[in-house]
């Protein structure tokens, strides 16, 4: 097992997803999202995940968003900021594209409540409204986009090395690069773990 993606909530709790290490075994649904509280207690919060990715919260602190990449779905859950408890997991956004290997990866949330999700295998970062509707798209020169993060009104977007450079030489040229795109809106604040 290894960790894959994590985030800190408004109360300073660290949430992290774990999964099978794909260099050892194919990912299966044995992954878990853990919550580490400031008092160092560890809680199993979401089980039966395969490739846990983006984790984040709405501005009103009542909703948590979470991506399990192979399902092509970002889920939303009811979130209790006082206790850190979650419930009522349901779909928020499902990527409907048919590109080979396409899956939502990491995401960032902007100050208007929209989720910007990298879609691995497509070269796209999508902007999804608070209601779960696709409202914007950034196209990048590599298929292997992995995660966006805000720096002011710029979206900083990471990418991985192209897995099939012979079939996708143009993607391979830019795979592993970091991109910056001004999107005209700021992101939600990044929080620090508290102890």
Residues catalogued as catalytic:
105
How many CB atoms sit inside 10 A of residue 73's CB?
A: 17
Tell me which long-range contacts 6-10 makes (C-beta under 8 A, separation of at least 24).
6/55, 7/54, 7/55, 7/56, 7/57, 7/191, 8/190, 8/191, 8/192, 8/193, 9/57, 9/64, 9/79, 9/81, 9/84, 9/191, 10/57, 10/61, 10/81, 10/191
How far apart are the C-alpha atoms of 180 and 192, rounded to whole Å?
Answer: 23
- The sign of the dihedral angle between the CA atoms of 163, 166, 171, 175 is positive
How far apart are the C-alpha atoms of 144 and 133, rounded to whole Å?
Answer: 23
């Amino acid at each position: 097992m290894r960790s894959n993606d994590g985030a800190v909530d408004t109360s300073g709790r660290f949430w992290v997803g774990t999964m099978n290490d794909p260099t050892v075994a194919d990912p299966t649904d044995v992954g878990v999202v853990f919550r580490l509280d400031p008092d160092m207690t560890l809680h199993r919060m979401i089980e039966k995940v395969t490739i846990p990715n983006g984790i984040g919260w709405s501005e009103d602190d009542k909703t948590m968003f979470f991506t399990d990449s192979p399902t092509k779905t970002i889920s939303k859950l009811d979130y209790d900021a006082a206790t850190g408890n979650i419930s009522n997991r349901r779909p928020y956004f499902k990527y409907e594209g048919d590109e080979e290997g396409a899956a939502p990866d990491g995401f960032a949330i902007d100050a208007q409540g929209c989720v910007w999700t990298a879609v691995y295998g497509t070269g796209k970062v999508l902007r999804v409204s608070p209601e779960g509707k696709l409202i914007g798209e950034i196209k990048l020169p590599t298929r292997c986009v992995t995660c966006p993060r805000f720096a002011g009104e710029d979206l900083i977007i990471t990418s991985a090395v192209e897995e099939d450079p012979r079939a996708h030489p143009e993607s391979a040229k830019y795979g592993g690069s970091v991109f910056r795109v001004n999107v005209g809106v700021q992101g939600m604040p990044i929080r620090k773990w508290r102890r």
